[in-house]
Amino acid sequence: MMKIKVYQLNSFARVSGGGNPAAVVLDAENLTEKMMQETARKIGLSETAFVMGSKIADYKIRYFTPLAEVGLCGHATIAVFSLLRELKIIGDGDYTFETIRAVLGVNISGKDVLMDMQRAEFYEYIDVSEVADTLNVPEDLLLPLAQVVSTGLKDLIIPVKSKSVLDAIQPDFRKIGELSAQHGIEGYHLFALDEEVTAVTRNFAPLLGILEESATGTASGALAAYLYSHGLLSETDRKNIVFRQGESMGRPSHIRVVMDTSENVIEKIQVGGGVMDISSYFVEL
Structural domains of the chain, ranges and CATH numbers in brackets:
3-117+274-284 (3.10.310.10), 121-271 (3.10.310.10)
**What is the pLDDT averaged over residues 124-139?**
97
Q: What percent of the chain has pLDDT over 90?
A: 92
pLDDT digits (tens, 9 = 90+) for 7-17: 999 999 989 99
Q: What is the mean pLDDT of residues 175-188?
A: 97
Given pLDDT bands bounded at 50, 70 and 90, which one contains residue 1?
confident
CA distances from 23 to 5, 40, 103, 124 (A): 10, 8, 21, 33
Residue 86: is its pLDDT beyond 90? yes
Contact 76, 22 (CB under 8 A): yes
pLDDT number for residue 99: 96
Strand ranges in 161-264 using DSSP code E only, listed in sequence order? 187-193, 199-205, 210-213, 241-245, 253-262
Question: What Å distances lie between residue 14 and 17, 19, 85, 128, 132, CA to CA?
Answer: 9, 7, 18, 34, 33
| Average pLDDT of the chain to the nearest whole number | 95
For residues 39 and 283, what is the distance between their CA atoms, to the nearest angstrom?
A: 7
Task: Tell me what the mean pLDDT of segment 96-100 comes to.
Answer: 96
Per-residue pLDDT band at 117 (split at 50, 70, 90): very high
Report angle CA 242, 157, 203 to the nearest 5 degrees: 70
Mean pLDDT of 29-46: 96
Fill in the amino acid letter for 273.
G
Beta-bridged to residue 115, according to DSSP, are 106, 271
The number of angstroms, rounded, from the C-alpha of 156 to the middle of its chain's C-alpha atoms is: 13
How many angstroms separate the first and last alpha carbons of the chain?
A: 6
> Would you state the pLDDT for residue 263?
85
Higher pLDDT, 265 or 142: 142
Q: What pLDDT is stored for residue 234 in this prediction?
A: 76
Average pLDDT of the segment spanning 189-196: 95
194-239 pLDDT, tens per residue?
A: 989 999 999 999 998 899 999 999 999 999 999 999 999 877 787 7
pTM: 0.91
Confidence category of residue 138, pLDDT binned at 50, 70, 90: very high
